[in-house]
Homo-oligomer: A and B are copies of this chain.
């Protein structure tokens, strides 16, 4: 099964984890661990995979490593479920190189942010997505992540690009549920709307996003507990909101693990990705919990806190 075309009403939906990238102690991609992680996710019932996202440490992987990740995952998955790949870079020409690389490596769709590093403008953001889509052979999904790129994609712009067939979907990691709802409502009433996938990146208001009409979720924590997020998704789809809320609250408590890292010693990325990888290591899924440089590793005490979170959530 390949990713549906931009005009296919079946779109991507459900739980699509941003797949962590296990590393060796030397900082190389640990392919065996990566494939064990993919199996863990597929067995957990997820509906798609997103490689080379922020949780995948795409910002830290070299071009060679990025290619290695996409090839390994698409080869292993072999069409059983769609594989989205990030093409994370500063501007159009550089993004287009990544789009070509991940497409050649088998990705079913690309996920692209607004330009960053450079000062930008809504007109330039629109031009960026239009140029990327024109040169991409696979659907383009916009990645709204202001914490990384320091601009917010305006809902009106996303909808304009959706209407024009430029975008096949939105992965919203902005934390702005107001704007997210505007896209959901606008996409629904789009003339000839077909397959525009609206996905939330939230771990902790996934139920709310699904309740208001999201097609799916891309929660980093689904690496650690895919079964939980799949259960949550099914409860929401079944309209069992009380059950969904209970499952969501269990996951919210588990998500507390992202705060184990001492903020005097490290940034939020080191702490959150460090915790996910520590959890995957503690659960026996990956061989080594190392994060990419220059992130700061968790201390043994911080790793113990991750272990406690897993125990509380019934995952050990």
Contact = CB atoms under 8 A, between A and B. Distances in A.
A295 B124 CA distance: 6
A299 interface: no
A283 to B, nearest CB: 24
A159 B30 CA distance: 37
A190 interface: no
Interface stretch (A70-78, A145-153, A301-309): A145-153
A59 B252 contact: no
Contact of A88 (B27, B117, B253): B117
A254 to B, nearest CB: 12
Contacts of A118: 54, 59-60, 148, 267, 269
A294 B241 contact: no
A223 interface: no
A90 B116 CA distance: 10
Interface residues of A, number: 66
Interface stretch (A7-15, A34-42, A203-211): A203-211
A1 interface: no
B120 A267 contact: yes
Interface in A182-227: 182, 185, 202, 204-205, 207-208, 211-212
Interface stretch (A43-51, A91-99, A102-110, A160-168): A91-99
B293 A119 contact: no
A80 interface: no
A249 to B, nearest CB: 6
B121 A63 contact: no
Chain B CB within 10 A, most for which of A54, A121, A131, A295: A121
Contact of A147 (B27, B119, B249, B266): B119
Contacts of A182: 204, 252
Contacts of A295: 124
Interface string A117-138: 1111101110110010000000
8 contacts: A60-B92, A61-B93, A175-B177, A182-B204, A185-B252, A208-B208, A211-B211, A211-B241
Interface of A: 27, 54, 59-63, 65, 88, 90-94, 97, 115-121, 123-125, 127-128, 131, 147-150, 175-178, 181-182, 185, 202, 204-205, 207-208, 211-212, 239, 241, 245, 248-249, 252-253, 263-270, 292-296
Given A92-B293, A117-B148, A124-B294, 16 more contacts: A60-B92, A88-B90, A91-B292, A116-B117, A119-B267, A121-B296, A123-B266, A127-B294, A128-B294, A150-B150, A175-B175, A175-B176, A177-B208, A181-B205, A239-B241, A264-B264
